[in-house]
Structure 1
Amino acid sequence: MGDPRPQPPTAQDAATTAEVEYDRALVRRVQGGDPRAFDELVERHKSRVIGTLYHMLGNRDDAADLAQDAFVRAFQSISRFRNESSFSSWIYRIAINTALNFIRLRKAPALSLNEWAEDVEEDPAWKELISRESVHKEMDRGELRERLNEALQKLSKDQRAVVVLHDIEGLRHQEIAKILGCTEATARSRLFYAHQQLQTWLADYL
């Protein structure tokens, strides 16, 4: 049998490619001495970076502060960026590492679930988790979120990072692996065991 015929790019793929190329053009301008191009990169990515950090830390002020730190570090290192990955992956990696260091050094709390639960309601794994028959089926959603939040605080920071990037940001395992500096298999494994642990810890409530 021959190789499967490649699928044509979707509109989303084309849009993503265009976004990546535009970012790379901005990076080249920054490397050429145009600081205004970096301002544009910040404007293009700051909302998602802050959102990701908020879900990691559960505190908006800390998220905003660490996002600023991440962009400062990115600007200071921009000369070493070689366009081998997308700028979005690169800034995510810097932001996530900044958050992980913050969690380790400051013992920051786990992510807040008030908004997280709403973001992942459409995720198939969570649909299965919360749809099972249980004597607690009528539990108030707010109470369920509280229990979920307590369970999430038990996850390791590495597992939490994968949950945020996959279940909230909707990134693919390949992209997550690049951001976290691990193999795709490791990213999948962390997510699998994180979901398993959450299901175990929440068994009495679902």
Structure 2
Amino acid sequence: MLSLAVNPATTSPGASATRDEDHALVRAAGEGDVRAFEQLYRRHSARLFAVLRRLCGQEARAEELLQDAFVRAWQALPGFRFESAFGTWLHRLAVNTALMDLRARRGAEALETDDEALAWQATPDSAGHRTALGLDLERAVASLPPRARAVLVLYDIEGWTHDEIATELGMAVGSSKAQLHRARQLLRTRLGEDHE
């Protein structure tokens, strides 16, 4: 069975220090300190970019969504309540930004297949074969239809429930389950074809 690791919550002793440092930076940024906000960006942008890249399947689009998420974060800083870690709040804001984008593109554009995402099938490395299953998996996930990809990423990687996914994507719970099944089947097929 194909499985993707869920990002576990950080529970190390350093997590508390990071949270405190983030909160100090948030307070400063909330008062207009641009350098503090730049530090928050440097601390969190790589992780968020990876999530957004998986959700949207396009590197350039993920960069745009990352910028959108940080603009929204800057605007929302005065309302941050310090009840959770800033990274958790920012992660949810970024995922919501990507989901809003997916809903906005749900029409014909969302159903088109992205050439960049399909490049994994036709781009061998210099030795003429794949170098790592991990790279294949990332490219295969990127090549999935947008809604199937979103459900797969949210369920298998982000750890959301089908109820949460259905609510966020505006679909029935059964549709979320069907999209997950579809995504997994497509991944099995694509990865199986590539490694036979």
Give the TM interval when normalised to the shorter protein.
0.5 to 0.7
**Greater relative CO, 1 or 2 (CA 8 Å, sep 6+):** 2
Map 1:19-38 onto structure 2 (within 5 A): 19-38=18-37
Superposed, which structure 2 residues align to 1:103-142 within 5 Å? 103-107=102-106, 108=110, 118=134
Larger radius of gyration: 1
Measured on the aligned residues, the alpha-carbon RMSD in Å equals 4.0
- Shift in CA distance, 65/97, structure 1 to aligned 2, threshold 3 Å: same
Name the CA distance, whole Å, in 1 between partners of 2:144 and 2:92. Answer: 25
Task: Find the counterpart in structure 1 of residue 154 from structure 2.
Answer: 161
Tell me which amino acid in the other structure corresponds to 2:58.
N
**TM-score, L = length of structure 1:** 0.58
Which consecutive unaligned segments of at least 5 residues does structure 1 have? 1-10, 120-141, 166-172, 184-188
1:74 equivalenced with 2:67 (yes/no): no
Q: Quick one: distance in 1 between partners of 2:181 and 2:66?
A: 30
Q: Deviations over 1:13-67 (max 9, x none)?
A: 1022221111111111122332211111011111111111111111111111110
How far did 1:164 drift? 3.5
Deviations 1:64-86 (A, max 9, x none): 11100100000001000011111
Paired letter, 1:118: G
CA displacement, residues 108-155 of structure 1 (integer Å, 9 cap, x when unaligned) = 4699596x9617xxxxxxxxxxxxxxxxxxxxxx6x888776667562
Return closer, same or farther for 1:93/1:83 CA change in 2, 3 Å cut-off. Answer: same
Per-residue deviation, 1:103: 1.3
Amino acid aligned to 2:71: V
Matched residues in 2 for 1:18 and 1:101: separation? 32
Identity %: 29
TM-score (norm 2): 0.60
Take 2:80 and 2:147, find their aligned partners in 1: how far apart are those partners?
A: 35
Q: Which moved more, 1:93-102 or 1:147-156?
A: 147-156
Q: Residues of 2 paired with 1:49 and 1:146: CA distance?
A: 18
